[in-house]
A and B are shown apart, each in its own frame.
Chain A
Amino acid sequence: MAEVHIVGTLTGASDFPSSRLSCRWKIVAGTGWRLLEGDAAGVTQVDAPEDSRFTVWSHPIDIHYGTRAVTGWPKLQVQVFRRDWRGRDELYGYGFTHIPSTPGDHTLAIPTWRPVLSFWDELSSSIFGTAAVLKNTDVVHAPADRFRLTTRSMGTVHVEVGVVLRNFEGYGVAM
C-alpha cells in the first residue's frame, strides 16, 4: 500500500465580484483510498479584506492517505460563500482540482462557477439572498456530462500544496 501526504494551504481567492468570502473545502478520494491522518474537510473563516482584490484565508490542509490504487486520486473540492451585509452566506462558486500527482510543491488555481437559473428566479434570488445551489455537490468533481446545467463564471481560488509520496515506486508507478 502506498501513502500520500498532502500538506498545504488554502491561500485565498481573487476575481470574485465580492471579496467578503469564506470557503468550505473537502478532499475527495476514490474507494481504494483510506484516510489515515488529518481532516479531509474544513471551513475557513470569512475574510473581509482591506484590499478587495485578494481574499486571504491561509487555511491549513494536512492529510495522510493510504491507497491501494492510483485511480481515484484525491481531488480538492471548494465551495465559496459570500457573506452579505445581513450576515447571510450565499453560494458564490464551486470548483475542484486534482491534487498533483508529482511530488513537490505546487501552486494551483481553481476556477469556480455557480449555477444560474432563469431570469425571474435570478431576480428573486438576488432579492431574498437565496442563490441556487447544487443538490448533489458530487457534480462538481465527477467526470460526467453536465449538459442542461448553466453556470456563471466566478473567480479563482488559490491553493498551495506540497505532495509527498511513499512506496509508489515499489508498485511500478512513475509520477
Chain B
Amino acid sequence: MFDATQQSQHATTFYRTIDRVENFKITIKLRKIADANVPLNDEFLGLDEGAIALAKKRRRLLLPKPEATVISWGERIFSPSEILRHHNHQPGKGSPLAAKYHALVEQLIAQPNSEESRIIAAGTTKGARRQIFTLTDADAYASQKAFTTSTREVLVPRENPASAMRRPALLRKRNRVIGEEDIITTSPVPRTQKCGWEEMHIMAYLDVEQTGSSKENVSEQSHYDAGFHICLCSIQAYDSGLVAITPGLNTGKKPHRIAIGQNVYEYTLKNASAPITEEDVESEWSIFQELYRQKRSALENILTMTFTSLPASKHIRFHITGQISWAERFRSKTLYIRQCLMVPLESWNIDENTTPAQAMMSTTQVSRARDSHGVWRATFGFPLEWVLLRRDKSTERPALYLTVCSVDLWNRHRLEGYGYFNIPEEEGRHSMTINTWRPLGSLMARVREYFIGGSTELEDLRYINMSNGHGQKVSSMHGLSVESSGAIRLTLNVVKQAEAYQVKPVTGKESHAHFAKGDIKAISDALARARARVKALQAGRKAE
C-alpha cells in the first residue's frame, strides 16, 4: 500500500498510496533515553559489552516507560494541557471548534480510569503519563518551519560517538530553537490556502525540567503549559495519493532523536496500515473493468451500425478530397485559378446520390503573391471535394484542368498557364506539383497583349490533355508554340469504396470453434486432412 519514493533519515519523505488516506495508520514509539540523572554520555563510555548491558538496564530502571501509540489518519488525541484548557472552557464563548472539543473532552473525562479523568483529578499536567497527542487540519497549528531546515535541527541524528562528544555547544544552540518553535496558538492563524491536501501533526507533550530563558517564552501564554510541545511528525496527504511525512518512516534501526537540554528522546515511526487483501485487489480491479465495460457499451450505443451502402458490384466509389495549396513562379503576382473536372461519362458517374450538387467547375479567390525565400508564391487553400463512381474497368480517368489567370491593376485578366492531371487510381494521400504552360501567340498578338490586354487562349481546354481526350492514336501537339509558366501545388486524398475491398469479419466461433471446445475428434480430423494435402502436394512435385 505504501511505497517510499525517496528515502532519507530526517528530511521529508514522500510516499505514494492508491488507497484512501483514511486507511492510513502510523505507529509511534517514544522513549526517553537520557535526562539530568542519566546523561547520554555514559552510553559511549563503557566499551565492553557487559558495561553497555549494565548501562542499558540502569537506563531502563531510571527512565520512564516508553510510550507506543497507533494513530490513524485524522484522529484527534488531546494533550494534557489541552484537556485542562478545554475542560475549563466556558460554554457560549469562543469558536464552535472550542465548544466541540469541550464536549469531546467532557466525554473522555466521564469515562472512569481514563487518562483524561486522572489529569483532571490531578489538576495539573505534571506527571501526565501520556505524552503523544495529535493536531489535525481543524486546529490552527502553524508549523511554519515544518518545511524549513529548522525541523532538521530539532532532530539530532544519532551519529558516531566521536562527533557526539563534540556537540554540547550545538545542543545548547538547538535548545533555543525548540523553545521558540513549537507554540500552539489559540488565536486563528492566517493559514495557507489548503487545496487538494490535508495535514496532521503528531505532537509530544514533554514534561521536563526547564532551565534558562526558554521557559519564559513558552509558559507565558498559559499556566497549563508546563512542558514542551514538540512536533514529532507532520503528515501531508495530497489528493493525488502522495503522502509526505516529515521526518520519514523509520526503515532501519536508527530512531529519530530529539533533545531538550539534557533530556534526550528517541522515537520511531512505523507504517501500521493494514496491508491490502486479495479481495480488495480483486474488487478494485472489477470496479475498473466494470468502468471500461460500461464506457465501451455506452460508445457502442452511440455508434449505429449504418454506413454509406456499398456501390453496385464491380463499381468503385471514389471519394476525392484535397486542396489547391499554392501557385508559384508565375510572372504576375495577382493570380486566380479556374479548375474544371472532366469526367468521362462513358465509364464514370458523378455520384449525386451520396453528395448532391457537386461543383465540377469552380474559381478560386484572387490571391496576391508573397516573396517566400526568393520565390513569389500565391496561396489559395482552395478545397476540392468530389465523389465519383467508376462503373467498369476502363483506363480512362477523370482529369482536372487548371487554368491560371492573373488580374492587373486595371482589372485586366490575362491567361498565365494551363495544367492538368489525372485523378490518381491509388488510394492514399497524393501531393503533386503541376507545371503549367501558356500558348505563345504571334509577335503582333504579344504586343497587343502588352498594351491592351487579353491573351492567346485555347478554344478547347481538352486540347491540353489531347492524348486522352480525343482518343487519337498519336498524340501530337506539333505546331503549338508555348511558353512554360509557373507551377501549382495540389494535395489529394483518395478513398475508394467497393465490394472487393470489403473484409468480412472472421469470427473465431466459426473457424476455430472446435479448438475452443477441445473437440479431440475434430482436431485429429483437421490434422489428417492437412497431412493428406501435404502428401498430395509432395506426390505432385515428384511427378513433375
Contacts and interface: CB of A to CB of B under 8 A. Distances in A.
Interface of A: 1-3, 15, 32, 34, 36, 66-71, 73, 75, 94-98, 100-102, 106, 109-113, 116, 140-147, 149-155, 169-175
A22 B356 CA distance: 37
A173 to B, nearest CB: 5
Given A34-B302, A73-B321, A169-B502, A116 B362 contact: no
A119 to B, nearest CB: 11
Given A1-B307, A75-B383, A98-B493, A113 B428 contact: no
Contact of A170 (B304, B325, B498, B505): B505
Interface stretch (B268-276, B374-382, B438-446, B465-473): B374-382
Interface string B503-539: 1110000000000000000000000000000000000
A1 to B, nearest CB: 4
Chain B contact residues: helix, strand, loop or mixed:
strand
A148 B322 CA distance: 22
A174 B302 contact: no
Most chain A Cβ neighbours within 10 Å, of B304, B307, B354, B368: B307
Contacts of B377: 153
Interface in B306-321: 306-308, 310, 319, 321
B381 A174 contact: no
A13 to B, nearest CB: 13
B354 A71 contact: yes
Contacts of B495: 70, 73, 101, 173-175
Contacts of A140: 381
Contacts of A150: 334, 365-368
B319 A174 contact: no
Task: Please list the 4 inter-chain residue pairs (A to B) with the smallest Cβ-Cβ separation, ordered nearest first.
Answer: A172-B502, A111-B379, A146-B365, A149-B365
Contacts of B325: 109, 111
Given A75-B383, A145-B362, 10 more contacts: A15-B373, A95-B379, A96-B381, A96-B383, A97-B323, A98-B383, A102-B429, A111-B381, A172-B499, A174-B498
Contacts of B155: none
Interface in B139-160: none
Contacts of B385: 143
B447 interface: no
Interface in B239-265: none
A94 B496 contact: no
Nearest to B326: A111
Contacts of B373: 15
B365 A113 contact: yes
B500 interface: yes
B90 interface: no
Contacts of B378: 153
A145 B359 contact: yes
A98 B310 contact: no
A147 B500 CA distance: 41
B501 interface: yes
Contact of B367 (A34, A70, A144, A151): A151
Contacts of A100: 429, 493
B384 interface: yes
A99 to B, nearest CB: 9
A153 B369 contact: yes
B308 A145 contact: no
B304 A68 contact: yes
Nearest to A139: B365
B369 A171 contact: no
B114 interface: no
Interface in B414-441: 427-429
A153 B379 contact: yes
Given A101-B321, A111-B325, A36 B302 contact: yes
Nearest to B311: A172
Contacts of B321: 73, 98, 101
B387 interface: yes
A111 B326 CA distance: 7
Interface in B344-394: 354-355, 359, 362-370, 372-373, 377-385, 387
Contact of B306 (A68, A70, A95, A149): A68
Contacts of B355: 71
B500 A143 contact: no
Contacts of A145: 359, 362-363
B370 A152 contact: yes
A49 B498 CA distance: 49
A142 B323 CA distance: 11
Nearest to B328: A153
